[in-house]
Structure 1
Amino acid sequence: MRAVVLAGGEGRRLRPATLTVPKPLMPVDGVPILHIILRQLRNAGFTHVTLSLGYRAHMIEDSFGGTHWEGLQLDFRLETEPLGTAGPLALLDPFEDATLVMNADLLTDIDFADMWACHKKSGAAATIALAPQSIDIAHGVVRIDQDSQVVDFREKPRMDFLVSGGIYVLEPGLLRFLPPAGRHDMPTLLETARAAGERIEGYVFDGEWCDIGTPEQLERAARAFRADRARYLGTDEPVSGHPVSDRPVSDRPVSENPVRKEAVGR
């Protein structure tokens, strides 16, 4: 079981904190969010994780101390320019089997193994994790017909909807819709595939999900993790974070591995 974690963003909404520490290493109750994610993937049965890096890439690679970390085989790829949420996949070797792809700024208790199993059973080209969300509207919502007649009026309703959780399982064949280079986002890739007749499955999970894109969201995630670490890591053992270097960004390559630029699935 293989996963790709997209960890190249700058985290601008978290500035000034991310001026010295990249967003994937932002501590959630003392533990870098990326380290939490990788432990979850390992616990779910994943053995090989590729990290797509960009901003302060050397700090992220250094935090793992090599290509083997807590039972996982790691490899690193460097984005030399922002490539969006799907473009980095073109830097990788072609997928040999279904691969889980996810963002590096999420705290969630999703069952990765169950999502993987459901995807494989469905026969879909891709599966998207969907998180139920709701918003309380502070005003009355009015609907009119083509003659401007009011046909519905709801006072301060609660609206329920599903949001993409930033977690996907992709079959190798789906990536033929990916451009060979340049910025490309996952919604565009999946919509292109869907319009071409590919089956895109939704995996709805009713659990904890939040990104850490703002200071408020980061604090919410820290409170949730602090309250029940076992919910996220499956253990009551204390988890300590790894030290993160605050030295200036260097120009050295992210690893000894060359950056590959061939398109996936071509």
Structure 2
Amino acid sequence: MHAILLVGGKGTRLAPLTRNIPKPLIRFGPYSILEITLRRLHGAGFRRVTLCISHLGELIREEFGDGRRLGLAIDYSLDAEPLGTAAPLLNVTEWDEPAVVMNGDILTTVDFADLHRQHTDSETLLTVAFHRRRLPTSVGMLHVIDQRVRAIWEKPSFNWNVNSGIYVANPLARKFITEDEPADMPDLINAMIDHDEPVNGYGFAGPWHDIGTHPRYRQAKAEFLADPELYLDPRRRSAPGGVHLEPDPLQDDATAPDLSLLLEQRLDGPAA
């Protein structure tokens, strides 16, 4: 199986940690963020990884080389002029099967093998992995359409689907990316939807960290160091005491209002 990691960002919000190294090489104890992901991918059965590099990419190449020390075959795709998170996919060579595509600054326990398998079974061009979150509120919420109150919740928690920055893409999905123009993954998703091209969703719960700010970095580092094997070994499904795992919102509290559904209702108007 093949994975493509987008590791070309500058990580300016994590300065000064990223002053002299790319964000994916920030370390959690003995491992960099990128090495944690690479080890997890290898444990899930992936053998080829393409690293899309740009800012300080030579340091990433020096760190991992051809990938043999991790049991991987690593190749590199240089994004000489950064144009977003989707545009680098146009430069990936010898790509002829579905590949996991993900940002290089994510710490997660998502089951990469299951994600890849479900995408392949779906026969679609793109699958978006989303993290199911609850968004708590401290006030009463009204659902109002045409000045009529349709529902009320007192201090509810809303279910929300968060784009995890993890995808599975077929190489044919690149036909929706315009060459030499900026394009992020949300642009690609919207372009496919606009062309009535099905885009699948893959929901998961459990630990997921987007390491984009100092508070998020500190939280992710603390959780990793509390139980490294939870993140390094795909066979681990839960953590022992000391690491807090969120309840699976895909399974419990089905009565919580779905904020995305409310937004759709608000846009479409009341049902006939």
**Range class of TM-score, shorter chain:** 0.7 to 0.9
- Write out per-residue CA displacement over residues 32-88 of structure 1, whole angstroms, 9 at most, x where no aligned residue: 000001111111111111111111111111111445331111111222222211011
- Does residue 89 (structure 1) correspond to residue 89 (structure 2)? The answer is yes
Question: Given the alignment of the two structures, is residue 215 of structure 1 paired with residue 181 of structure 2, yes or no?
Answer: no
**Maintained 8 Å contact 1:141/1:157:** yes
**Contact 2:3/2:48 (8 A) holds in 1:** yes
List aligned pairs for 1:92-111, cutoff 5 A: 92-93=92-93, 95-111=95-111
Say whether residues 1:132 and 2:152 are aligned partners. Answer: no
Matches within 5 A, 1:194-205: 194-205=193-204
Q: Over residues 233-261 of structure 1, what are the superposed CA-to-partner deviations in whole Å (9 max), with x where a residue is unaligned?
A: 1299xxxxxxxxxxxxxxxxxxxxxxxxx
Task: Tell me if structure 1 keeps the 8 A contact 2:124–2:199.
Answer: yes
* TM-score, scaled to structure 1: 0.83
SS of aligned partner of 2:51: strand
Matched, 1:121 2:124: no
Name the residue aligned to 1:64.
64
Structure 1 unaligned runs (5+)? 237-266
Q: Give the Cα separation in 2 of the matches to 1:37 and 1:8.
A: 15
Aligned-pair CA distance for 1:125: 1.5
Count of residue pairs the alignment pairs up: 235
Residue of structure 2 in register with 1:168 after alignment: 167
Residues 5 and 51, structure 2, Cα contact 8 Å, conserved in 1? yes
Does the 8 A contact of 1:36 with 1:233 survive in 2? yes
- Whole-angstrom distance in 2 between the partners of 1:149 and 1:131: 33
Deviations, residues 175-227 of structure 1 (Å, cap 9, x unaligned): 11111223201111122112222221111112211111111111111121112
The separation in 2 between residues aligned to 1:228 and 1:181, in whole angstroms, is: 43
Question: In the superposition, relative to structure 1, how do residues 223 and 67 fare at CA in structure 2: closer, same or farther (>3 Å)?
Answer: closer
CA distance in 1, matches of 2:215, 2:173: 36
Give ranges in structure 2 of 5+ residues lacking alignment.
Answer: 236-272
Corresponding residue of 1:74:
74
**Alpha-carbon distance, 1:30 to partner:** 3.6
Tell me if the contact between 1:94 and 1:172 (Cα under 8 Å) persists in the aligned partners: no
Distance in 2 (alpha carbons) for counterparts of 1:82 and 1:32: 23
> Does the alignment pair 1:34 with 2:4?
no
Aligned to 1:46: 46
TM-score scaled by length of structure 2: 0.81
How far apart in 2 are the matches of 1:96 and 1:57?
25
- SS of aligned partner of 2:118: helix
Cα distance in 1 for partners of 2:101, 2:150 equals 43
In structure 2, what is the equivalent of residue 155 of structure 1? 154
- CA contact 2:109–2:234 (8 Å) conserved in 1: no
Whether contact under 8 Å (2:51, 2:75) holds in the other structure is: yes
8 Å contact kept, 1:29–1:223: no
**CA–CA separation in structure 2 for the residues paired with 1:175 and 1:149:** 45
Contact 1:28-1:218 at 8 Å conserved across structures: no
Please give the per-residue CA displacement for 1:146-177, whole angstroms capped at 9, x wherever unaligned.
1x244433232211111111111111222111
User: Letter of the aligned partner of 2:4 in structure 1?
Assistant: V
Give 3-state SS (helix, strand or coil) of 1:184's partner.
coil
Q: Percent identity?
A: 37
Q: Distance in 2 between matches of 1:149 and 1:163?
A: 30
Deviations 1:119-169 (A, max 9, x none): 1111121111111112212332223231x2444332322111111111111
CA RMSD, Structure 1 to Structure 2 (Å): 1.8
For 2:221, the aligned partner's letter is A
Partner of 1:112: 112
**One-letter amino acid of the structure 1 residue matched with residue 80 of structure 2:** T
**How much does 1:95 deviate?**
2.4
Structure 2 counterpart SS, 1:69: helix
Q: Which SS does the other structure have where 2:45 is aligned? A: coil
Distance in 2 between residues matched to 1:235 and 1:42, nearest whole Å: 9
* One-letter code aligned to 1:161: W
Q: Which has the higher contact order (CA 8 A, sep 6+)?
A: 1
Preserved CA contact (<8 Å) 1:130 1:165 = yes
